[in-house]
């Protein structure tokens, strides 16, 4: 094919963000981390002091999300991710953001999108679907290492509990729960470093090119 769409889904901390970036660079595809769109909605609500279950304001915020102006630095805070998983249960918010994500997926040079529902809802016709996982313990360990590398401290049990709570919210919600598409390739990175995961993903993509 001339252009391809790659859909990457999986739970928080499985390494899908890094993998998405590496694949986008390698195949010269546009990249959208769709988690940032939910984070942007949560951030606007927090900023204005509105509750996260204020549906009317969440819808207003979703309409204002501009894919060209998603500031990863502002949106990366742990609390924003937590809040994002709460606004992400609102069907009308999802509808608005999914429409913007689909438009991005039509980028003329092809695109990589990563999130929770890309292969199942946003891009059900994607050329390649990857479902990237790792055990909750491994994901918690990676998160702890990242915090410590940045000079912070945290305790393993607390991080693990956070991860398990977020997994539960993302897999348990009624609208677009996190789950692998029937035609997704499963990639368990528990025992892989990023190079091994990237190489495995490339093998899968190269088979459809």
**Any contact of residue 119 with ligand C5P (CB under 6 A)?**
no
Q: Are 111 and 27 in contact (CB under 8 A)?
A: no
In the numeric block, the tokens 């060209």 are attached to 68
Q: Which of 85, 120, 133, 189 binds ligand C5P (CB under 6 A)?
A: 85
**Any contact of residue 104 with ligand C5P (CB under 6 A)?**
no
30 among the known binding-site residues?
no
Helix 55-64 to helix 91-105 angle (10° resolution) is: 10
**Any contact of residue 129 with ligand C5P (CB under 6 A)?**
no
Q: Which of 12, 32, 44, 90 binds ligand C5P (CB under 6 A)?
A: 12
Q: Are 122 and 102 in contact (CB under 8 A)?
A: yes
Q: Which of 20, 100, 131, 170 binds ligand C5P (CB under 6 A)?
A: 170
**Any contact of residue 10 with ligand C5P (CB under 6 A)?**
no
Closest by Cα among 186, 17, 11 to 113: 17
16 among the known binding-site residues?
yes
Q: Burial of 99 by CB count in 10 Å (0-12 exposed, 13-18 middle, 19+ buried)?
A: exposed
Of the listed pieces 54-62, 65-73, 113-121, 150-158, which binds ligand C5P according to CB under 6 A?
113-121
Closest by Cα among 3, 97, 1 to 44: 97
Measured from the CB atom, is 147 or 206 closer to ligand C5P?
A: 147
* Residues that bind ligand C5P in the complex, under the rule CB under 6 A: 12, 34-35, 38-39, 81, 84-85, 88, 115-117, 166, 170
């Amino acid at each position: 094919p001339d252009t391809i769409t790659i859909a990457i889904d999986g739970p928080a901390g499985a390494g899908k963000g890094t993998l998405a970036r590496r694949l986008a660079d390698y195949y010269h595809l546009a990249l959208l981390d769709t988690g940032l769109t939910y984070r942007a909605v949560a951030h606007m609500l927090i900023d204005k002091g509105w509750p996260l279950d204020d549906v009317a304001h969440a819808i207003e915020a979703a309409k204002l999300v501009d894919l060209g102006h998603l500031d990863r630095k502002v949106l990366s805070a742990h609390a924003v991710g937590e809040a994002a998983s709460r606004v992400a249960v609102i069907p009308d918010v999802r509808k608005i953001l999914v429409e913007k994500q689909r438009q991005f997926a039509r980028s003329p040079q092809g695109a990589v999108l990563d999130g929770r529902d890309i292969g199942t809802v946003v891009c059900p016709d994607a050329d390649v679907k990857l479902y990237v996982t790792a055990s909750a313990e491994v994901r918690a360990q990676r998160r702890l290492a990242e915090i410590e590398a940045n000079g912070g401290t945290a305790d393993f049990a607390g991080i693990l509990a956070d991860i398990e709570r977020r997994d539960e919210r993302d897999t348990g919600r009624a609208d677009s729960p996190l789950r692998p598409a029937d035609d997704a390739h499963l990639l368990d990175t528990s025992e892989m470093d990023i190079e091994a995961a990237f190489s495995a993903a490339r093998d899968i993509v190269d088979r459809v090119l």
